[in-house]
Amino acid sequence: MEEKETKKVIGLMSGTSCDSIDAGLCEVNPDMSVKLIQGINYSYPEHIRTKLFAAFRGDISIKELCQLNFAVGKCFANAANLLIEEFGKPDLISSHGQTVYHYPYDEKLDNISLKSTLQIGDSSVIAKSTGCAVISNFREADIALGGQGAPLVCFADEKWFKNSLVQNIGGISNVTVISDDCETFGFDTGCGNIMIDYCTQKFFGQKYDKDGEISASGNICESWLDCLLQDEYYFLEPPKTTGREYFSYKYIENILKTAPAEPADIITTLTALSAKTIAQAYERFVYPYVHTDTVIIGGGGAYNKTMMKFLRSYLPRRIELKTHEDYGISNNFKEVMAFALLGYCSYYGIPDNIPSCTGAKKRTVLGKITC
């Protein structure tokens, strides 16, 4: 195996919320530490983003999906090139891509598993547009080994944190449990911002609830919240993962049939739902096996003051609530840094999934290299 050296890696990420392409130039070291040199949020062109949401709904043709794969690749390349223009070419680019469908279920057709995932943003387009080697398609190898292809950030969490629950609140919320009491494990706790964003756009014409200002103005509808908390996903045992395919626009429109009349109350209750499902997930699946006094929050939810207030009220008082910023890691660019690390490990042939988090049969090297 080639001796490991410090590498400059551009991480590229667009998550479930699809609010922007996060791009970060990172310095990745042989000890698995990662330093963010510069991060940017690159907005999708309006019509590309609109087309992506049509893809999420299943409202585009195969032709349009084919075109979108290359168009999103060009958008990812444009984001990377902004960093390259300022800092020069990195050693490699690590691209998560844009998930358009994730199906981690054991359905079969002619006795062949249909468990699958699809991230678009063609790696050849990125490589040829930037002149850099690209590592992409990280989830596929884990699924090929029977895993769910998520959560993958657990690998970075295990390297960077000790004895804590590391909670990301993006479109979907996921936790990594790192403890001396057991092997590292992780799972998606449920919806994060995805339903909040949808309803904020629907009722207020805004992409998201900035700083939790709208949710701070409303009240929790406890009866509706109790109803939403009965969803079967929250009771499934880990390993488990979810996404926009489950918490779809049809799902959201269906629950809105019994929502309170005041739009602000809807946003407030959905924010409480995200916070409470996190707390309940800990009660059901973490606290019985692990003693921890620290929860570290990252992702967009860390900036939502109402979300953080609700989390504080739902978690036991002994729990110290921190954010990634307390550890010198950007809340906004943590996942970019994590995928920079995954790309680095894949480059060196280091297995970078964690089967206790994804359910895969064994550890494996993730990703594909495109030059």
CATH number at residue 129: 3.30.420.40
Q: pLDDT tens digits for 95-117?
A: 999 999 999 999 999 999 999 99
Q: pLDDT tens digits for 219-260?
A: 999 999 999 999 999 999 999 999 999 999 999 999 999 999
Residues 306 and 361 in one domain: no
Among the listed residues 257, 258, 302, the one whose alpha carbon sits nearest the alpha carbon of residue 278: 302
Structure confidence at residue 53 (pLDDT): 95
Alpha helices (H) in 295-361, listed in sequence order: 305-314, 334-347, 355-358
Q: pLDDT tens digits for 345-354?
A: 999 999 999 9
Average pLDDT over residues 136-147: 97
Residue 325 lies inside a defined structural domain of this protein: no
Residues 16 and 86 in one domain: yes
Task: Give the phi and the psi of residue 288 in degrees, each rounded to 5.
Answer: -65, -20
Number of domains in the chain: 2
Average pLDDT over residues 187-214: 97
Residue 328 lies inside a defined structural domain of this protein: no
Residue keyed to tokens 């006795």: 111
Report the chain's mean pLDDT, rounded to a whole number: 96
CA 270, distance to chain mean position in Å, is 19
Q: At what angle do helices 305-314 and 263-285 cross, to 10 degrees?
A: 40
Among the listed residues 306, 299, 247, 318, the one whose alpha carbon sits nearest the alpha carbon of residue 276: 306
- For 206-232, letters b (16+ CB in 10 Å) and e give eebbeebebbbebebbeebeeebeebe
Residue 329 lies inside a defined structural domain of this protein: no
Residues 124 and 28 in one domain: yes
CA 54, distance to chain mean position in Å, is 20
Residues 173 and 241 in one domain: yes
Please state whether 151 falls in left (phi above 0), alpha (psi between -120 and 50) or beta: beta
Q: What percent of the chain has pLDDT over 90?
A: 96
- For 104-115, letters b (16+ CB in 10 Å) and e give beeeeeeeeeeb
Range of the domain at 43: 7-149+334-370
If one counts every other C-beta atom within 10 angstroms of the C-beta of residue 368, the result is 13
Q: pLDDT tens digits for 27-60?
A: 999 999 999 999 999 999 999 999 999 999 999 9
Residues 240 and 124 in one domain: no
Residues 109 and 165 in one domain: no
CA 143, distance to chain mean position in Å, is 17
Strands 92-103 and 116-120: antiparallel
Q: The pTM is what?
A: 0.94
Residue 74 lies inside a defined structural domain of this protein: yes
Residue 28 lies inside a defined structural domain of this protein: yes
Residues 30 and 137 in one domain: yes
Cα distance from N-terminal residue to C-terminal residue, the chain: 20
Residues 221 and 132 in one domain: no
Q: pLDDT tens digits for 291-313?
A: 999 999 999 999 999 999 999 99
Residue 18's pLDDT band (boundaries 50, 70, 90)?
A: confident
